Structure 1
Amino acid sequence: MNILIVLGHPDSGSFNHAIAEACKERLLENGHTVIFHDLHKETFDPILEKEEISRDGLADPVIKRHCEELLSSDGIIVIHPNWWGQPPAILKGWIDRVIRPGIAYKFEEGDSGEGVPVGLLKAKTGLVFNTSNTNAERENLLFKDPLETIWKNCIFDFCGVKQFDRRMFRIIVTSDLQQRKIWLEEVKEMMDQYFPKAVKEGIPEGKLFE
């Protein structure tokens, strides 16, 4: 399968990067093709200009490539920290520019855009890994876990990706190396659960595209 991984964190030494490496490693071991984007390393431009807003808007070659990769993906994995209950700005910009009308979703002919969208993505599974320094009780009771709503309802379900799972690792700032190793094993177990080895014997070598 083709699996798209999108990482949004500015620090190359972050636990978010460790999660991304764990995902890549296990997916390749399982024989999958991995398309990986570290948005900060690539200096992805998050600004959506007015010329690009409409379905037929002018998109530059970088965005066209991202859209093509999104459309070809059988699974999508997103990794980012919880910043103010939202993805970091660079990842929000990726959502704005890549999860486009006509690419990820559409409205029925004659619909003004007020109706129920039709998801266009062929991916069956969407996974999200988040990190946080807020405890679970405070997150759920006070903030209502907005990231769950954003990714599950507003993005993946909206675009036709019905199988969704998400893990929030906390509290990062006080976690030690042993705890982080345990978390990374959980990440690998999720790769095995949702993207298992294609065959039990003669597993093909995975491929990585960055």
Structure 2
Amino acid sequence: MKILMIYTHPNHHSLSYAFLQEAIRGSADHAHPPEVKVLDLYEEGFDPLLVFNKTKRRRDMHAEPSLAVYREQLLWADQIVFIYPIWWGRPPAMLLGYIDQMFSSNFAYKDKGGLMPEGLLKGKSAVVISSMKGPALYPLFWLNNAHKVLMRRALLGYVGIKKVKFFEFGNMESKKGKQKEKLERIYRYFKTAAF
């Protein structure tokens, strides 16, 4: 089993970083430890800006040389783990910029002329670990579950990734947010996951 953990938060003293550490620790303590690679988008200096002009066209993004290493990481992984905070009801702009560039036509999916494309990343699974200041049910009741719809349907399902596990933690800036219990939950999940 090969796991790519994509961490998106500019602060290594954040709760998101603590979730990353527990995911790594749980994987290492698994009875059959998987291979783990971490992509820290901020530390990496990933450029989230899309640039299209006369020489750089959107239809050629799947072969963009500067993104080759990131394509190799996604192809290498059996499971992709996304770890990030929810800001304004959605993932950070840095992660959205990564998604815009990496999940491109002729790499992550292929148009077939019908309603839905062929997902070229099928067979992989995903885990989405997100945290927010607001209540856990805020995205469901106030935003029509927009975050999960974005990640499960608009992105992962579109590219063929059907098996998706969500950990969406709310009240994370509250003293009553049970942060330790939630960190332990992430550790236990990766320690006992059926890879």
Flag whether TM exceeds 0.5 (same fold). Answer: yes
Q: Which has the higher contact order (CA 8 A, sep 6+)?
A: 1
**Other structure's SS at 1:190 match:** helix
SS in 1 for 2:173: helix
1:25 maps to amino acid: R
- Structure 1: gaps spanning 5 or more residues: 197-210
Structure 2 CA distance for partners of 1:102 and 1:26, relative to 1, 3 Å: same
Instruction: Please give the alpha-carbon distance, in whole angstroms, between the structure 1 residues aligned to 2:152 and 2:21.
Output: 23
**Aligned pair partner of 1:53 in 53, 58, 68:** 58
Is residue 76 of structure 1 aligned with residue 75 of structure 2? Answer: no
Q: Is the 8 A contact 1:7 1:38 kept in 2?
A: yes
Aligned partners of 1:160 and 1:21: how far apart in 2?
28
- Give distance in 2, aligned partners of 1:101 and 1:75: 20
Name the counterpart of 1:183.
Answer: 182
Cα root mean square deviation, aligned: 1.9
The Cα offsets for residues 47-87 of structure 1, whole Å up to 9 and x where unpaired, read as 111115214665133x1111111012100100111111111
Is 1:76–1:123's contact at 8 Å kept on the other side of the alignment?
Answer: no
Q: 1:138 to 1:29 in 2, by over 3 A?
A: closer
Deviation of the 1:190 alpha carbon? 2.1
In structure 2, the residue matched to 1:34 is 36
- Alignment partner, residue 108 of structure 2: 104
Q: Is the 8 A contact 1:72 1:122 kept in 2?
A: no
Matched length: 190
Task: Measure, in 2, the Cα distance between the counterparts of 1:168 and 1:56.
Answer: 31
Following TM superposition, where does structure 1 have runs of at least 4 consecutive aligned residues deviating by more than 3 angstroms?
Answer: 55-58, 192-196
Tell me the secondary structure at the aligned position of residue 126 of structure 2.
strand
Change (3 A) 1:130 1:91: same
Equivalent in the alignment of 1:132: 132
Equivalent residues in 2 for 1:5-20, closer than 5 Å: 5-20=5-20
Distance of aligned partners of 1:42 and 1:69 in 2 relative to their CA distance in 1, 3 Å threshold: same
Aligned to 1:64: 68
2:154 is the alignment partner of 1:150: no
Deviation of 1:115 after TM superposition, in Å, equals 2.6
SS in 2 for 1:41: helix
Report if aligned partners of 2:61, 2:104 keep a CA contact under 8 Å in 1: no
**Counterpart contact for 2:2–2:76, Cα < 8 Å:** yes
Distance verdict in 2 for CA 1:128–1:4, change over 3 Å: same
Task: Please give the secondary structure, in 2, of the residue aligned with 1:172.
Answer: coil
User: 1:191 Cα shift?
Assistant: 1.6
Q: Distance in 1 between matches of 2:144 and 2:84?
A: 18
Structure 1 CA distance for aligned equivalents of residues 90 and 57 of structure 2: 23
Per the TM alignment, residue 193 of structure 1 is displaced from its structure 2 partner at its CA by 4.6
